[in-house]
Chains A and B, each alone.
Chain A
């Protein structure tokens, strides 16, 4: 099976612009989660989508949004970019419903990330 793919891998934008990042999960996985990784704040959860519905959301401003399509591919959008949005954005996909117990636990698989630089 192909792994989680993220496009683009690198992106440079200027303050005030908006950006869209894409994540294609492993085939058959319906859960996609997004994380932001920065040297100062570490790894922080942005949101999770399951079957086209946002299931969980982290503590980020409304400038950060996402969506999931019927083929489980997901996009996240950041509007009005700020310098502090410079980060590695990781997505992770997961099989199953994601709410089973220990016996039904499905591992999350991470993509290589998109490195966003805001100038």
Chain B
């Protein structure tokens, strides 16, 4: 079975500060890794994913995440956050051969303050 641990349930930061949201996973088989974002009263939106290749993946809005196989981590970072980044962020894994099933972490509430 797979499991995902997000190490911080809440992360408050000031606008334009850097942020890191931490994610560790456990799996005995190869997995794909994802970060999803959820704004209030909305569904989940895919922020970025690691499937294979370069271990550093980037999103179009300035977030990046690095897959570290030895540490089984997939931390999400942004060098300078905006008020509009306030949302809940979920790390998730999917076993490469199991179709669509996602296993999610508990979520991290990122609050960006002016």
A contact set with B: CB distance below 8 Å: 4, 31, 33, 35, 42-45, 48, 50, 55-56, 58, 90, 92, 94, 98-99, 101-102, 105, 107-113
Specify which chain B residues have a CB less than 8 angstroms from the CB of A108 in the assembled complex.
46, 100, 102
Q: Is the CB of B100 within 8 A of A43?
A: no
B contact set with A: CB distance below 8 Å: 32, 36, 41-46, 49, 51-53, 90, 92, 96-107
Specify which chain A residues have a CB less than 8 angstroms from the CB of B105 in the assembled complex.
42
Given A42-B104, A43-B104, A102-B32, the answer on whether A31 and B99 have CB atoms closer than 8 Å is: yes
Q: Whole-angstrom distance from the CB of A108 to the nearest CB of chain B?
A: 6
Given A42-B104, A42-B106, A105-B32, the answer on whether A50 and B44 have CB atoms closer than 8 Å is: no
Q: Is the CB of B101 within 8 A of A33?
A: yes
Closest 10 CB pairs of A and B: A110-B43, A102-B51, A43-B104, A102-B52, A110-B44, A98-B99, A112-B43, A33-B100, A42-B106, A98-B100
Specify which chain B residues have a CB less than 8 angstroms from the CB of A111 in the assembled complex.
43
